[in-house]
Amino acid sequence: MKTSILPFGPQHPVLPEPIHLSLTIENETVLEARPALGYVHRGLENLVAARDMHQMVQVVERVCGICSMIHAMCYCQALEEMLDIQAPPRAEYLRVIWSELHRIHSHLLWLGLFADAMGFESLFMQLWKIRERVMDINEATAGNRVIVSVNVVGGVRRDIDEDQVAMIEKELVTVEREVKQLSLTLLTDFTVKKRTKGKGVLTREQALELGAAGPTLRGSGVAQDMRQLGYAAFKDLDFEPVVETGGDSWARAAVRFKETLQSVDLVRQALAGLPQGDLAVKAKGKPEGEATARVEQPRGEVLYYIKANGTKHLDRLRIRTPTFANIPPLTVMLPGLELADVPVVVLSIDPCISCTER
Amino acid sequence: MPFMLPSILRNVFSGPATRPYPANPRQPFADARGELVNDPETCIFCSICAKKCPSQCLAVDKELGTWEWDPFACVYCGVCAEACPTKSLRQTNVRRAVARDKQSVAVQGQPKPKKSP
């Protein structure tokens, strides 16, 4: 049988962002997938030459349009390590609250897109309706819906008062109830299982060998979560990484679904233990040297490397985002699949291409 | 699909999830980040706001006593308002309205008299 090469993307109805896959197919079966990137490079890392290290907080927030707060938190943690300062306890708890709110809305966004990729439009709408509550919490507490701009080197810029704590707790009760109402549909529905069970399988060994990160890794049975490092206030909070052993699209969706509920619990724990005190310590001086920081994004581990040269501008900033780590696993997930399953499996790694290309 | 039935029934009998915009726009949250307002009476044109701005959307001239803000380049982070030493610059909770043309906002104040040597 003659094989042919089919271009998938960069513009494809199921892809919110441009990634190109060259699919070698025989009949309807994929034999090989070769990814190609480079359509949305913005050169954000290079901006360190034009913006000083404090202004870069607002730049790195724009690396990702979904988990913006977590990028800024990681950057601030790296700079704090270099300047040898420690954010006050209240700031660390507030960082956990906002970062987990970002994880909730990111996972709800992805679950919605995943449902949409399967053609399950009403589930997509339901999930995004719930997500809107989390966006409202972000706007009411931090001032913006997505790019909340709450981080500063040395702490946070915004506080959450008693009324806002009550509002968040009230909204989270509704979010949790509404998410749980959809659990049967998302995890046990015949249509969903038919489209996801056994599709795009990544074994535990393959995941480790190819360096998968985040829910893609945990869906293959590896209990690795950067929050276990105990950055910010995670050292004081009680949680276990969510793990599924199937390694297929369904397992990755189940990890994200369960993590949404886990994040609701983490926000509650952080609100209950919110200590009193300052919001930030002053970040003085022009550092010299190198530092790295890694935190858990909704998509996996993000790593920041910074190098400073004793001036107000950094020498080098390097960002490794989780999607960059999750693209190689795609090359073993896709072969053997029917062409119609490719969009769902590509989406199952939660690709964030703008992040990857920065 | 059968598991969606309770949600579908609830949605049939409850009101719509969206509001009839623009007839009924949502009121802004008290802490929302909106447009900048500068008071020319209290502004000392020190240009700290312009130096701190990550998107470089502010231009201040001490000699002429002018302060100019480009709302279309602004990222609404609020760093400038926090850095203002006289609290003359503040951030309201009202979002910038959509516009046909890009326009900047200029404030003209009294330039500070030069100190005699």
Q: Is B55 on the interface with A (CB under 8 A)?
A: yes
Q: Is A158 on the interface with B (CB under 8 A)?
A: yes
Mutate to test the interface with B, among A48, A53, A54, A58 (most CBs of B within 10 A): A58
For chain A, give every domain's residue range: 4-357
The pLDDT score that the predictor gives to residue B114 is: 65
Neighbours of A10 (CB within 10 A): 17
- Is residue B59 pLDDT above 70, yes or no? yes
Please provide the average confidence, as pLDDT, over all residues in chain A.
Answer: 89
- Is residue B111 pLDDT above 80, yes or no? no
Nearby residues of B54 by Cβ (< 8 Å), 6 or more positions away: A51, A55, A56, A57, A58, A59, B75, B77, B79
- Closest-CA distance, A103 to chain B, in angstroms, reads 21
CA–CA separation, A3 vs A189, rounded Å? Answer: 35
Chain A's closest residue to B5, CA to CA, is A185
CA–CA separation, B111 vs B117, rounded Å? Answer: 18
Q: How many residues does chain A have?
A: 358
The pLDDT score that the predictor gives to residue B116 is: 61
pLDDT tens for residues A179-211?
A: 988 888 888 888 888 888 888 888 999 999 998
Q: Is B82 on the interface with A (CB under 8 A)?
A: yes
Q: Is A157 on the interface with B (CB under 8 A)?
A: yes
Q: What is the mean pLDDT of residues A17-28?
A: 88
**Cα–Cα separations (whole angstroms), residue A329 to A207, A224, A346:** 7, 16, 10
What percent of chain A has pLDDT above 70? 100
Contact A63, A99 (CB under 8 A): no
pLDDT tens for residues A54-100?
A: 889 999 998 888 888 999 999 999 999 888 898 899 999 999 999 99
Contact A139, A98 (CB under 8 A): no
- C-beta atoms of A143 and B33 within 8 A: yes
The pLDDT score that the predictor gives to residue A172 is: 92
Give B53's contacts in chain A (Cβ within 8 Å).
55
The pLDDT score that the predictor gives to residue A255 is: 93
For chain B, give every domain's residue range: 43-111
Q: Find the CB nearest A58 among B8, B17, B77.
A: B77
Nearby residues of A106 by Cβ (< 8 Å), 6 or more positions away: A66, A67, A298, A299
Answer whether CATH 3.30.70.3270 is correct for domain B43-111: yes
The pLDDT score that the predictor gives to residue B47 is: 86
Contact A112, A127 (CB under 8 A): yes
- Closest-CA distance, A328 to chain B, in angstroms, reads 34
Q: Is A126 on the interface with B (CB under 8 A)?
A: yes
Q: What are phi and psi of A260, to 5 degrees?
A: -60, -45
The pLDDT score that the predictor gives to residue A122 is: 86
Q: Is A185 on the interface with B (CB under 8 A)?
A: yes
- Is residue B19 pLDDT above 80, yes or no? yes
Contact A322, A328 (CB under 8 A): no
- Is residue A144 pLDDT above 70, yes or no? yes
CA–CA separation, A248 vs A299, rounded Å? Answer: 16
Q: Is B21 on the interface with A (CB under 8 A)?
A: no
Give A181's contacts in chain B (Cβ within 8 Å).
6-7
Residues of chain A numbered 63-122 and touching chain B (CB < 8 Å):
122
- C-beta atoms of B4 and A123 within 8 A: yes
pLDDT tens for residues A173-183?
A: 999 998 988 88
Q: Is B12 on the interface with A (CB under 8 A)?
A: no
- A37 pLDDT band, cuts 50/70/90, is confident
- Is residue B115 pLDDT above 80, yes or no? no
CA pseudo-torsion sign A219, A223, A228, A234: positive
Give A189's contacts in chain B (Cβ within 8 Å).
1, 3
Chain A's closest residue to B27, CA to CA, is A140
What ipTM is given for this predicted complex? 0.82
CA–CA separation, A273 vs A227, rounded Å? Answer: 17
- Is residue B1 pLDDT above 70, yes or no? no
Chain B's closest residue to A58, CA to CA, is B54
Give A59's contacts in chain B (Cβ within 8 Å).
54
Q: Is A181 on the interface with B (CB under 8 A)?
A: yes
CA–CA separation, A95 vs A141, rounded Å? Answer: 12
Pick the CATH number of A4-357 from 3.90.1170.50, 3.40.50.920, 1.10.645.10, 2.40.37.10: 1.10.645.10
Contact B78, B105 (CB under 8 A): no
Name the DSSP class of A103. Answer: H
**Per the structure block, which two tokens stand in for A239?**
């949680």
Q: Is B52 on the interface with A (CB under 8 A)?
A: yes
- C-beta atoms of A139 and B32 within 8 A: yes
In sequence order, the β-bridge partners of residue A25 are: A4, A30
Cβ contacts from A onto B, under 8 A: 59
What percent of chain A has pLDDT above 90? 30
**Cα–Cα separations (whole angstroms), residue A304 to A2, A76, A136:** 46, 10, 29
- Is residue B58 pLDDT above 70, yes or no? yes
Give A144's contacts in chain B (Cβ within 8 Å).
32-33, 76
- Is residue B12 pLDDT above 90, yes or no? no
